[in-house]
Amino acid sequence: MATNSTLRTLRIKKFRGSTRDFTIKFDPKKSLTLIYGENGSGKTTICDAFDFLGNGKVGSLEGRGLGQIRPYWPALGTSSADILVELEADGAIWKAQANTKTVVLSPKSTLPFKIEVLRRSSILRLVQDAPKEKYDALRPFIDISLFEQAESALRSQLKDSRSAQSDSVNRIAENQDTLQRLWKESASGIPDAMKWAEDVIQTPPSNPADEIKAIRNAATALESLTTLNALAVPATQESNVAVEAAKVASADLATAEAEAMSSDAAFERILLAARDHFNQHAVGDSCPLCESAERVNGLAVRVGERLAKLKTLTEARSTVVATQSTFKAKQAVVENLSQRIITAATGALEKINKASAEWSAAHKDALDTVVTVQKDGDLSNLDMVGIKAACDAATIYCSALENKSTWYATISTVYEQYRNNMAREAAVARVVPKLEQALDICEKMRKGFLDSILSAIAQEVGRLYEIIHPGEGLNKITLKLDPKRAGSLDLATQFLSSPDQPPHAYFSESHLDSLGLCIFLALAAMKDPEHTIVVMDDVLGSIDEPHVDRLIEKMLYEESAQFKHTIITTHYQPWREKFRWGWLKNGQCELIELGLWNATNGIATAQSSQAPLYELRQHISATPPALQSACASAGVLLEAICDYLTAQYECDVPRRRGKLTLGDMLPRVAVKKIADALRVDVRQPDGSYITTTLGDKLIRLREMAQLRNIFGCHYNDLSHVLPQQDALDFAILVHDVGSALICDDQGWPGSDKSGEYWATKGETRRLYPLKKPQ
Amino acid sequence: MPTPNQELTEIVCAALAEAGIASEKEVASLKARILAGKVKAEDWYLAVENSLKQASEAEKDGN
């Protein structure tokens, strides 16, 4: 049979149970390897080695509560650095070793093929896991997260665009309302508000800002004049008061001088010295200055009186000086104010000249008084009332100018907004239907895409499940994404007549196991199976006998053909026996048997149990032929042949407890009626057939059957005297019948589909007749 | 072997172009952005808007 496999050897060193170097050699002609071994023989280590190489992990240690599992990678007593897993495949040798953090692969960092490992411990997870974990398991087939992200962005954009369109429509309505209102207020006579607005903005007003500024400047200058007037009036009054005060002080001084005897200051100092003297010394009999005794009495009193008159005079003089000073200061203020008034009036006139002629003409009389003021600085000529009226009018005039400008700006802005909103709405309105159409396409195609993938997976799972459990799989298994939760997948099946039931709620463990296996195989086959090595570690554990036969014969053999290589480990002994006896289609399968593991030798292959036909061939072709062994093997094989033929042709055999013997069965098939019809067409490599008759051989074997016991089963004196050639002839004849009947690749003919004969797969053997001749 | 993202994006983009929603040029740009995980909401708007403009200009040139 053609094979995809390029696996040659697997070498395992210091890894898990491999305490010594262990190497498996794969048959290059077989793409299915069955590794048989009892529990504890090292099957899982072999699967772990593939996992280590292909996936950088040791799955058998996961989920066992070990915490850090790296310490358990190496064989006991060795370190991670000693680990080596080496696979010769595709003409290269791939090595996996452990460094401090990860698994390092060489010669390249990735394998050119995938390795998918299914273990007994994880088989149920595919069925029973939560929807999220199921989704994760299927993620490689249905991961469209990038597309969903883009679809979400599209949905968001459509929402935003619709909102923008709605917003534009609302704004257009607002703009229209505003223009309608302004149009009505204008009472322009133009029949349409939009036409009116277009006309208005065609004739923009001159910029009123300069005019407003000039009027405001003139008004401000006039207000300055009025402010100065408020200062000038009290200043003038104060100046007048100061003049009067100076006059009074001068008159008071004249009076004081007249009353004073002397205005001589030196005289005042003499009087002050005399007073000080008399305060300290009593007045004697004479004047201390002139020593005259005349009028000495009362001298101290008179000195005091003279000093009092001199003080009044001094004070009068001071008052004159003070009032003169005050007068001059007030006069200076008045003069300063006058100057400022002239300056302000000059400035005001300049600004009035720059202001609106309309406004200045309206207030000409009042403004002319400013000219007078400018000339003499006298504000009394200023028309204060008229000036105030001019200032108030300036405010109103400016406000009117501003209102006109604002009115125009409002119309212009609203009309511009209206046009912009119309344009925006039109643009969005063109895009929105396209976005809606795009989203519709995205949603439908995404759903269809996922549905088709999930449906294909479910169909494939159902097809495989149907093989193991006829009538229970096809169109009854569904995979559904939960539309309400991202990354959530439900597995459902029909139970009795009730669809969409969770299988783990109703199925037996055996059914769940086989369902998990089907899911695994379906997923592994969906993506690049020709570049995938499938490894299954003792997955037949809980599957019961009838189902395991169908699983092995009808599913695993068939499905494994699509993969690069399939490796199945098992401790299921009937599989090995059926393999040996050729009851299975062995063409694509190789059997490797493991011996018992021990710490010293580690994992070891055992001498494989040979197929009896093969074994017989070995004994016959030995030099010299191993007669005893040949007769023993021939006897066993002949029993198997008789067992097969009596079953196929429903021969009458004695019914009793215990196994039927050769003596019970051979006479039933080696009878003329059957023997005459028994023949096998053996297909040759070129497709032609060579016919071998069986009946004559079976009749001869019936006559020779005792040779089996004489040479092969018991110690018997007859073996000493009978020709050894008889023993060899017996063995060769059984071998001829066996070779005709049993195909090395396809086993025994078991299919009656032709309606004429029993055939092996591919019709490498055709056994006639189909029914026992009557 | 294409990923599901690539496969779906490919068929959807082809459908968008065929339906006249976006031009081949805009679809190609959109496809690259989708698969790079960098597509933004406004990219969709621009793709459609640009395609409408291109179609309009092509129509003018044709006239």
Query: CA-CA distance, A177 to A160, in Å (whole number)?
Result: 25
What pLDDT shows up at residue A1?
A: 42
Q: What residues in A contact B39, CB-CB < 8 Å? A: 149-150, 153
Query: CA-CA distance, A433 to A439, in Å (whole number)?
Result: 10
Cβ contact (<8 Å) for A438 and B48? yes
SS3 of residue A75 by DSSP: coil
Cβ contact (<8 Å) for A431 and B45? yes
> Nearest 5°: CA angle at A424, between A420 and A425?
115
What does A389-454 look like in DSSP terms, one character per residue? HHHHHHHHHHHHHHHHHHHHHHHHHHHHHHHHHHHHHHHHHHHHHHHHHHHHHHHHHHHHHHHHHH
What pLDDT shows up at residue A438?
A: 96
The burial class, CB within 10 Å (0-12 / 13-18 / 19+), for A139 is middle
Q: What residues in A contact B19, CB-CB < 8 Å? A: 437-438, 441
What pLDDT shows up at residue A23?
A: 94
Nearest-by-Cβ selection for A153 from B21, B22, B41: B41
Q: Which residues of B touch A (CB under 8 A)?
A: 1, 3-5, 7-9, 11-12, 15-16, 19, 21-22, 30, 33-35, 37, 39-45, 48-49, 51-52
Give, in order, the Cα–Cα distances in Å from A628 to each of A634, A637, A708, A726. 10, 14, 9, 12
Cβ contact (<8 Å) for B5 and A143? yes
pLDDT at A3 over 70: no
What pLDDT shows up at residue A256?
A: 78
Closest CA in chain B for residue A437: B21
Give the mutation candidate from B9, B10, B21 for the A interface (greatest A CB count, under 10 A): B21
> Nearest 5°: CA angle at A570, between A565 and A573?
130
Query: CA-CA distance, A169 to A506, in Å (whole number)?
Result: 59
Query: CA-CA distance, A605 to A608, in Å (whole number)?
Result: 8
What pLDDT shows up at residue A313?
A: 81
Helix (H) or strand (E) segment spanning residue A174: helix A145-186
Between residues A508 and A588, the one the model is more confident about:
A508
Share of chain A above pLDDT 70, in %: 97
Query: CA-CA distance, A296 to A283, in Å (whole number)?
Result: 8
- Residue range A649-679, pLDDT digits in tens: 999 998 888 788 899 999 999 888 898 999 9
Closest C-alpha to A662, from A721, A690, A704: A704
pLDDT at A609 over 70: no
How close does chain A come to B37, measured CA to CA in Å?
Answer: 6
Cβ contact (<8 Å) for A160 and B21? no
What pLDDT shows up at residue A317?
A: 85
pLDDT interval class at A261 (50, 70, 90)? low
Of A436-445, A546-555, A575-584, the range with the highest mean pLDDT is: A436-445
- Residue range A161-188, pLDDT digits in tens: 999 999 999 999 999 999 999 999 888 8
Closest C-alpha to A708, from A628, A631, A629: A631
Q: What residues in A contact B22, CB-CB < 8 Å? A: 434, 438
Residues 146-205 of A with CB under 8 A from B: 146-147, 149-150, 153-154, 156-158, 160-161
Give the mutation candidate from A146, A158, A527 for the B interface (greatest B CB count, under 10 A): A146
Cβ contact (<8 Å) for A435 and B45? yes
Query: CA-CA distance, A343 to A52, in Å (whole number)?
Result: 104
Q: What residues in B contact A158, CB-CB < 8 Å? A: 44
Between residues B43 and A236, the one the model is more confident about:
B43
pLDDT at A501 over 50: yes
Closest CA in chain A for residue B48: A431
pLDDT interval class at A547 (50, 70, 90)? confident
What pLDDT shows up at residue A608?
A: 59
Nearest-by-Cβ selection for A153 from B15, B16, B40: B40
- Residue range A186-226, pLDDT digits in tens: 888 888 999 999 999 998 877 788 888 999 999 999 988 88
pLDDT at A227 over 60: yes
The burial class, CB within 10 Å (0-12 / 13-18 / 19+), for A725 is exposed
How close does chain B come to A127, measured CA to CA in Å?
Answer: 23
- Residue range A309-364, pLDDT digits in tens: 788 888 888 899 999 999 999 999 988 888 888 888 899 999 999 888 889 999 99
Cβ contact (<8 Å) for A153 and B21? no
0.95 surpassed by complex ipTM: yes
Closest CA in chain B for residue A432: B45
What pLDDT shows up at residue A525?
A: 87
What pLDDT shows up at residue A310?
A: 80
User: Side chain identity at A519, as an amino acid letter?
Assistant: I
Mean pLDDT on B25-33: 95
Cβ contact (<8 Å) for A438 and B22? yes
Cβ contact (<8 Å) for B12 and A141? no
What does A680-700 look like in DSSP terms, one character per residue? EEEE-TTS-EEEEE-HHHHHH
- Residue range A723-756, pLDDT digits in tens: 889 999 999 999 999 999 998 878 889 889 999 9
Contact indicator for A516, A127 with CB cutoff of 8 Å: yes
Q: How many CB atoms lie within 10 A of CB A317?
A: 16
What pLDDT shows up at residue A449?
A: 93
Could you tell me the pTM of the whole model?
Answer: 0.61
Q: Inform me whether the C-beta atom of residue A144 falls under 8 Å from chain B C-beta atoms.
A: yes
Range scoring the smallest mean pLDDT among A30-44, A107-121, A227-241, A483-497 = A483-497
Nearest-by-Cβ selection for A146 from B21, B37, B52: B37
How close does chain B come to A164, measured CA to CA in Å?
Answer: 12
Give the mutation candidate from A152, A154, A428, A532 for the B interface (greatest B CB count, under 10 A): A154
If you count residue pairs, one on A and one on B, with CB atoms under 8 Å apart, how many are there? 85
pLDDT at A2 over 50: no
The burial class, CB within 10 Å (0-12 / 13-18 / 19+), for A677 is middle
DSSP alpha helix (H) spans, A30-144: 43-55, 125-128, 131-142
DSSP A756: S
The burial class, CB within 10 Å (0-12 / 13-18 / 19+), for A124 is middle
How close does chain B come to A112, measured CA to CA in Å?
Answer: 13
DSSP alpha helix (H) spans, A203-264: 209-259
Q: What residues in B contact A153, CB-CB < 8 Å? A: 39-41, 43-44
What pLDDT shows up at residue A569?
A: 93
Cβ contact (<8 Å) for A442 and B11? no
Nearest-by-Cβ selection for B1 from A144, A146, A528: A528
Query: CA-CA distance, A627 to A639, in Å (whole number)?
Result: 18
Query: CA-CA distance, A511 to A473, in Å (whole number)?
Result: 11
Closest C-alpha to A142, from A480, A424, A389: A480
Query: CA-CA distance, A678 to A770, in Å (whole number)?
Result: 10
Q: What residues in A contact B35, CB-CB < 8 Å? A: 146
What pLDDT shows up at residue A587?
A: 64
Q: How far is CA A92 from the centre of its chain?
A: 38
Q: What residues in A contact B53, CB-CB < 8 Å? A: none
Cβ contact (<8 Å) for B8 and A141? no
pLDDT interval class at A141 (50, 70, 90)? confident
Q: How far is CA A642 from the centre of its chain?
A: 67
Share the mean pLDDT of chain A: 88
Cβ contact (<8 Å) for B48 and A435? yes
Residues 524-563 of A with CB under 8 A from B: 527-528
What pLDDT shows up at residue A260?
A: 67
